[in-house]
Structure 1
Amino acid sequence: MVEIFLKILPFFAVIGLGFLAVRRGFFSEEATVYLTRFVFYFALSAMLFGFSANLDVAAILSWPLVLAYLLGTSVVWLLVAAVALWRGSSREEAVFEAHTGVIGNVGFLGIPMLILLLGPKAVGPVLLVLAVDLMVFSSILTMAITGLRAGRISARTFGILGMGLLQNPMIVSTVLGIGWGATGLALPGPVNEFMSLLGAAATPCALFAIGGSLAGRSAERMQVAAWLSTAKLVLHPAAVAAACWAFGQGGHAAGVMIAAAALPVAGNVFILAQHYRVAPQRVSTAILLSTAASVVTVTAVIALIGKGS
């Protein structure tokens, strides 16, 4: 476990460096926003395209794993939403708390860290988790909030969903990469080197940007945020592990999926909370708490996966 912790530590050290750089004023919050854009639209997209273009489609798509992740995540989503309603939160707040309890930082943190720690074969399961999070649970969030505010789900809601998916570079780059991989053709040398060079910037820049974004967050609604962090870091991987067992899925791929479920709350959940003006303070605090605690919990989960494999 100590060996795993030492391997994970440099990732969180870069996050801490970004945090200190912004907190000390050496790096502005506005600069962090532009760094995040660079990662989101260019570096991470190049990394995803390069990974998926060099993968066999069969190595990515596993329906039993998809169903296991859907089941485990849905159970936690419903539990967190039920607890929020029992506590007296509004239905919109319950939806956002549920989303916070299951959406991890797969893109900026999970892809580089898990592939380094768990090997190149981790790419397929990690991409599956990312696809389900973006295409299923983010769609559920949009439909639920739009439906609650409008009183119904309309054709316009599905139009918003469709445009959102088409404008997400992580989805577009992955789909294009899978499409290229399906042709069986190797990427031309200069293109492959370009993607590799640009994609190599994703990991350090993404981690630095995560830290910078955390520096501007305030710690409020600590009790609720602690519960949401526990749901994300403990309940979510446990539920996915149970679902994998129920579907007879084990081995390396299932372990990677469980590790991906153990990642801290994603920063884009706060962006959505701000956009819809629903519980941004508790979401922000949950991101801060879960990211700080995940250096220990992710280490523990990966250690347990290693013992079970």
Structure 2
Amino acid sequence: MGALIEVVLPVFFVLGFGYLAAKRGWISSASVDGLMVFSQKFAIPCLLFLAISQLDLGQSFDLRLLASFYVGAISGFAAGILGARFLFGRPWEDCIAIGFCCLFSNSLLLGLPISERAYGEASLAANFTIISIHSPFCYLIGITAMEMVRNAGRTRAETARAVLKAMFSNALIIGIVLGLAFNLTGLAMPGVLEDALDLMRRAALPTALFGLGGVLVRYRPEGDLATAGFVVAVSLILHPAVTLGLGQVLGVPHDTLRNGVVTAAMAPGVNSYLFADMYGKARRVAATGLLLGTALCVVTAWIWLQLLG
């Protein structure tokens, strides 16, 4: 138990320090925004670029792992949409935004550091396999569904253009695509440039965790608590449970599967709120789900780590 606590708590302490600093006014709201811009648009794309450009695609891309994780994610998306519509009577556009909250787990800011502390840096190939298509996959599903609901009269070509424009304005996706391009073409990178990117990479996770804590100060659990609680339950229980069960059926090696389950078991990511905000739908549910899910993830992540061994 002590070892598990030592794995989970340091990650949430960094997040908590950011929350406390913003709450007490030791760091301004503008500074928090600056940290998040640096981490989300520069440092994390560098982290993804380097990791994916150096990934052994032949060994790391276990299709069984990807199927287990993403069937779980789609199950969460479907459960979120149907629950929002038939349990809570939300409009369809709200339902898509709520489903996206259940689809987009915090694979980077929480899943990566917790997996690293639990299973070591050498195990992270499984995480990067998932992360390499996480943003493109989730945004493709979410934006396509939302654009179809919002613009039923649009042609397929117009919908496709709207989807691609929204996806490729995302810095995380750009970092992933460039990393894959370097990996597949075998392009060599100058050592000096690689060292510079590595410096950025080292700052990515601590900066993002601290900044995320500062961002959470802005969100308060006010209203729509039942809907947000449903989102949290789907994110923290259904998604990892489907990933674990399907992974065992498909024969995913346990040392690989456990990283996938930990990634699936994370709270909704910041992108879930950004998606809701982008469309102006279900923002309060997304913000409350993000806050409650991140708080409860301290306990549920420990439980999942204990179950996984």
Query: Could you tell me whether the CA contact under 8 Å between 2:236 and 2:297 is conserved in 1?
Result: yes
Whole-Å separation in 2 of the counterparts to 1:111 and 1:9: 14
Q: Structure 1, residues 33-84: CA drift from partner, whole Å, max 9, x if none?
A: 1211101121111211222222211233222222222222222222222222
Aligned to 2:159: 157
Counterparts of 1:1-309 in structure 2, within 5 Å, are: 1-87=1-87, 88-152=89-153, 154=155, 155-183=157-185, 187-220=189-222, 221-306=224-309
Query: Could you tell me whether the CA contact under 8 Å between 2:265 and 2:304 is conserved in 1?
Result: yes
Deviates more, 1:51-60 or 1:254-263: 51-60
Q: 1:261 to 1:48 in 2, by over 3 A?
A: same
Letter of the 2:210 partner, please give it. F
1:187, distance to aligned residue in structure 2 (A): 4.5
- TM-score of the superposition, structure 1-length normalised? 0.92
Q: 1:278 to 1:185 in 2, by over 3 A?
A: closer
1:27, distance to aligned residue in structure 2 (A): 1.4
Whole-Å separation in 2 of the counterparts to 1:59 and 1:287: 34
SS at match of 2:31: helix
1:231, distance to aligned residue in structure 2 (A): 1.1
Query: Could you tell me whether the CA contact under 8 Å between 2:72 and 2:238 is conserved in 1?
Result: no
Identify unmatched segments of 5+ residues in structure 1. none
Letter of the 2:94 partner, please give it. E
Q: Structure 1, residues 95-150: CA drift from partner, whole Å, max 9, x if none?
A: 22221122111122323332343223433322233244322222221122221121
Query: Could you tell me whether the CA contact under 8 Å between 2:4 and 2:302 is conserved in 1?
Result: yes
Deviates more, 1:107-116 or 1:72-81: 107-116
Whole-Å separation in 2 of the counterparts to 1:12 and 1:222: 23
Instruction: Give % identity.
Output: 26
Whole-Å separation in 2 of the counterparts to 1:71 and 1:253: 16
Deviates more, 1:70-79 or 1:202-211: 70-79
Query: Could you tell me whether the CA contact under 8 Å between 1:126 and 1:260 is conserved in 2?
Result: yes
Whole-Å separation in 2 of the counterparts to 1:136 and 1:129: 10
Q: Structure 1, residues 205-248: CA drift from partner, whole Å, max 9, x if none?
A: 10011100100102122222122111111111001111212322
Deviates more, 1:297-306 or 1:179-188: 179-188
1:153, distance to aligned residue in structure 2 (A): 5.1
Whole-Å separation in 2 of the counterparts to 1:136 and 1:177: 16
Letter of the 2:71 partner, please give it. L
Q: 1:149 to 1:185 in 2, by over 3 A?
A: closer
Whole-Å separation in 1 of the counterparts to 2:119 and 2:187: 27
SS at match of 1:249: coil
Query: Could you tell me whether the CA contact under 8 Å between 2:84 and 2:227 is conserved in 1?
Result: no
- Point out 4+ residue stretches in structure 1 off by more than 4 angstroms: 183-187
